[in-house]
């Protein structure tokens, strides 16, 4: 246990006296350990550090973030430029020269990333070069596949790209390649799902479960000391993915297409694949709850993630557009011609997911969950307004009203965000 030193009082900036240097070092180490174990959230940690006079100035930190974002965008543009240049001149290059060009680009990108990471210790330049290396690696896979007449949209190419860049992200570790790998694996899953079913809602439901799996995987990564810096990338990307892929399901048109334009129905391959994703998501959350069994916030997070996955898998098991059909040995329920039931159901699920994200953010003191929940709640309000008013009013009135709804929603969300932040701040004292 951490105990204060005997002698003078201690209180940081407002306390009775200065901290003993040895005790200060132990206290800072304890704060980092508490945050890593989930005992306190980032907000509480910042307040303690600020009280001790250890918090960095907020404005330079924001400028540093802006610099990193601008540098990352520049790196992405450079990588895309290289890809487009090679692709535009691909047909006129000899096959041996193609291989040499690809290998040279990979070696240069990875070598520069290695030097800036481990030799020169330039983290911002390294992060940019990591993203360039990940993009060049993906371009190399697709260009080699094109040379050997592999279809560009095949899931295998996306899987190879995602697996390689994820391995790069964990080996370094670096957020950029990890994000590229996550997006590539998402694309692989989407193309694979499209090959085994004609049903757009089934593809979207698969991506919803994939997003939940990313959130659970991020929580698992968060308990691994060496790569815990990647946890936020997985969690935020997964949470955004859940809401982005669930939003179209709140409309009626995907479900109308589900009933009218899905002659192949849903194969057992799709069912088994979605079941595997759901089980993996539940397992990741179960592991996190086991490791952090005292954290109510993580229990809430795990419960919501498992429920969302279970609903998605349940809809796939219980409905099929081309009934009668056998799913895993039993007959699925025929799809009803009324698509409104499903859209209403997913409006309810979407609203519950928003409350879940905000609740998890408040319980674990993570602003990202609260902000993402509020943003996508605003998008849901705007989507429902446009969906309903476009059927009832003139187009000009719809646009004016949409602008008013956006402004009012933004003001209300900002007030709600401030109130939630104030409540969390008061609760952390």
Render pLDDT for 155-180 as a digit per residue (tens, 0 to 9).
Answer: 999 999 999 999 999 988 888 899 99
398 pLDDT above the threshold of 90: no
pTM of the model: 0.75
Mean pLDDT, rounded, for 54-67: 52
Residues forming a β-bridge with 197: 266
CA distance linking residue 103 with residue 111, whole number of Å? 12
3-state secondary structure of 11: coil
Residue in 203, 231, 227, 226 with CA at minimum distance from that of residue 216: 231
**Distance of alpha carbon 14 from alpha carbon 421, whole angstroms:** 23
- pLDDT band with cut points at 50, 70 and 90 for residue 217: very high
Average pLDDT of the chain?
Answer: 75
> What is the spatial distance between Cα 301 and Cα 220, in angstroms, rounded to a whole number?
13
Q: What angle do CA 214, 216, 222 make, to 5 degrees?
A: 100
Alpha carbons 327 and 124: distance in angstroms, whole number: 51
Structure tokens at 268: 């057992």
Task: Quick: pLDDT tens for 137-156.
Answer: 888 888 778 777 787 778 99
- pLDDT value for 70: 67
Chain centroid to CA 148? 33
Give the pLDDT confidence score for residue 186 in this predicted structure: 95
CA distance 425 to 429: 7
Distance CA 284, CA 426 (A): 32
- Other C-beta atoms closer than 10 Å to the C-beta of 125 total 17
pLDDT given at position 337: 42
Mean pLDDT of 287-291: 80
Residue 391 CB neighbour total at 10 angstroms: 8
What are the contacts of 18-24 at 24+ separation with CB within 8 A? 19/52, 24/52
Residue 246 has pLDDT above 90, yes or no: yes
């Amino acid at each position: 246990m951490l105990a204060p030193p005997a002698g003078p009082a201690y209180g940081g900036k407002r306390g009775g006296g200065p901290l003993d240097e040895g005790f200060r070092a132990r206290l800072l180490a304890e704060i980092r350990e508490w945050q890593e174990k989930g005992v306190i959230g980032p907000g509480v940690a910042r307040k303690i550090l600020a009280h001790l006079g250890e918090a960095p100035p907020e404005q330079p930190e924001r400028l540093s973030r802006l610099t990193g974002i601008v540098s990352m965008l520049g790196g992405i543009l450079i990588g895309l430029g290289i890809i487009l240049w090679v692709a535009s001149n691909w047909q006129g290059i000899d096959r041996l020269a193609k291989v040499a060009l690809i290998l040279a680009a990979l070696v240069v990108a990875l070598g520069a990333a290695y030097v800036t990471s481990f030799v020169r210790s330039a983290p911002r330049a390294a992060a940019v070069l990591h993203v360039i290396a990940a993009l060049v690696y993906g371009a190399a896979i697709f260009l080699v596949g094109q040379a050997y007449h592999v279809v560009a949209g095949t899931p295998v190419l996306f899987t190879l790209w995602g697996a390689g860049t994820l391995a790069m992200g964990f080996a370094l570790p670096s957020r950029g390649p990890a994000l590229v790998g996550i997006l590539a694996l998402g694309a692989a899953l989407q193309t694979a799902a499209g090959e085994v079913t004609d049903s757009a809602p089934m593809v979207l439901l698969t991506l919803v479960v994939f997003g939940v799996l990313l959130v659970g995987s991020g929580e698992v990564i968060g308990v691994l000391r060496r790569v815990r810096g990647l946890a936020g990338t997985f969690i935020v990307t997964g949470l955004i993915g859940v809401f982005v892929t669930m939003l179209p399901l709140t409309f009626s048109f995907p479900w109308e297409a589900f009933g009218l334009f899905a002659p192949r129905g849903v194969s057992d391959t799709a069912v088994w694949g979605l079941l595997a994703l759901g089980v993996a998501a539940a397992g990741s959350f179960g592991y996190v709850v086991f490791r952090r069994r005292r954290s109510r916030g993580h229990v809430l997070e795990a419960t919501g993630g498992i429920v969302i996955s279970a609903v998605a898998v349940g809809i796939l098991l219980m409905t099929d557009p081309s009934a009668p059909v056998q799913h895993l040995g039993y007959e699925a329920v025929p799809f009803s011609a009324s698509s409104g039931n499903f859209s209403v159901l997913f409006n309810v699920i979407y609203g519950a997911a928003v409350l879940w994200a905000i609740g998890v953010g408040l319980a674990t003191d993570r602003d990202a969950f609260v902000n993402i929940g509020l943003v996508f709640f605003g998008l849901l309000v705007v989507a429902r307004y446009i969906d309903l008013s476009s059927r009832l009013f003139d187009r000009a009135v719809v646009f004016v009203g949409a602008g008013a709804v956006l402004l009012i929603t933004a003001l209300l969300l900002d007030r709600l965000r401030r109130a939630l932040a104030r409540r969390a701040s008061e609760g952390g004292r």
